[in-house]
């Protein structure tokens, strides 16, 4: 479903959950909303990276579960290797999520609260796992960025962050795109040019929060 206007909770910012499967372009949309519409963006990937920094309990738990081979020589997490291990089996992915997700959720709630205290009008939560985290339950609106699977794979390979096998495994664990779109208040199609995506992102935000 789409085209429904925002409905901010009394006394707080409008909370928009922004999601999309691997390679959809959701982070590009988040950047457009931040730079051109003045939205406050909370990036779940950033929260996840911070949660597993050396000295944090999540990293210690990951080492206890998966072994010290997941660490780089400087003691930080080898995120690429950790991703390969996690998506090797449902059990590994569940173990990773059970360790890291609670830390992400706690920090997310903290940052949303801080944005509200600052008087921010719109807060966008950029997260691939909006529904898996249960974040959608506290959002006023959820927006999905969508693109065909083969195009999304091409984009990820071009970034050289994952090999084709890992991309396939990640995609297999993510929610079906049609299910994502069915649950969303807004769907942004990203099968065209960067300028077409920009226009679609601004139009969607305008319907949600009044960005001109």
Contacts of 146 (CB under 8 A, 6+ apart): 20, 21, 24, 177, 180, 181, 187, 188, 189, 190
Question: pLDDT band for position 2 (50/70/90)?
Answer: very low
CB of 80 within 8 A of CB of 73?
no
Confidence of residue 5 (pLDDT cuts 50, 70, 90): very low
Q: Residue 117 pLDDT more than 70?
A: yes
pLDDT in the model for residue 94 = 93
Delimit the domains of the chain by residue range: 14-206
Q: Rounded to whole angstroms, how far apart are CA atoms 175 and 172?
A: 8
The mean predicted confidence, pLDDT, of the chain is 90
Match 């091409």 to its residue by tokens: 154
pTM equals 0.87
pLDDT of residue 10: 56
Query: With pLDDT > 90 as the criterion, what percentage of the chain qualifies?
Result: 75
User: What is the model's pLDDT at position 8?
Assistant: 52
Per residue in 173-206, pLDDT tens?
888 999 999 999 999 999 999 999 999 999 999 9
Check residue 53 and give its pLDDT. 95
Say what the pLDDT of residue 125 is. 97
Q: What is the pLDDT of residue 162?
A: 78
Worst-scoring range by mean pLDDT, 14-23, 83-92, 131-140, 164-173?
164-173
CATH 3.40.50.300 is right for the domain spanning 14-206: yes
**Interval 115-136 mean pLDDT:** 92
For the stretch 76-102, pLDDT in tens is: 999 989 988 998 899 999 999 999 999
- How is 40-57 classified by DSSP, letter by letter? EEEEHHHHHHHHTSTTSH
Q: What are 35-47's pLDDT values in tens digits?
A: 999 999 999 999 9
pLDDT of residue 4: 39
- pLDDT above 70 as % of the chain: 93
């Amino acid at each position: 479903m789409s085209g429904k206007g925002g409905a901010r909770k009394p006394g707080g910012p409008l909370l928009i959950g922004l999601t999309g499967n691997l390679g959809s372009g959701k982070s590009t949309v988040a950047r457009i909303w931040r730079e051109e519409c003045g939205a406050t963006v909370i990036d779940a990937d950033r929260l996840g990276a911070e949660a597993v920094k050396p000295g944090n309990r999540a990293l210690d738990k990951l080492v206890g579960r998966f072994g010290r081979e997941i660490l780089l020589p400087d003691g930080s997490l080898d995120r690429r290797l950790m991703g390969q291990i996690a998506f090797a089996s449902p059990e590994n992915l569940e173990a990773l999520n059970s360790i890291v997700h609670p830390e992400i959720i706690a920090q997310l709630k903290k940052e949303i609260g801080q944005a509200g205290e600052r008087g921010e009008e719109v807060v966008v939560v950029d997260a691939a796992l909006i529904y898996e985290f249960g974040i959608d339950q506290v959002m006023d609106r959820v927006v999905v960025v969508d693109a065909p699977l083969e195009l999304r794979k091409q984009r990820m390979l071009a970034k050289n962050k994952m090999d084709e096998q890992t991309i396939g495994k990640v995609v297999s664990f993510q929610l079906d795109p049609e299910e994502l779109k069915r649950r969303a208040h807004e769907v942004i199609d990203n099968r065209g040019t960067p300028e077409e995506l920009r226009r679609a992102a601004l139009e969607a935000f305008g319907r949600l929060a009044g960005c001109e």
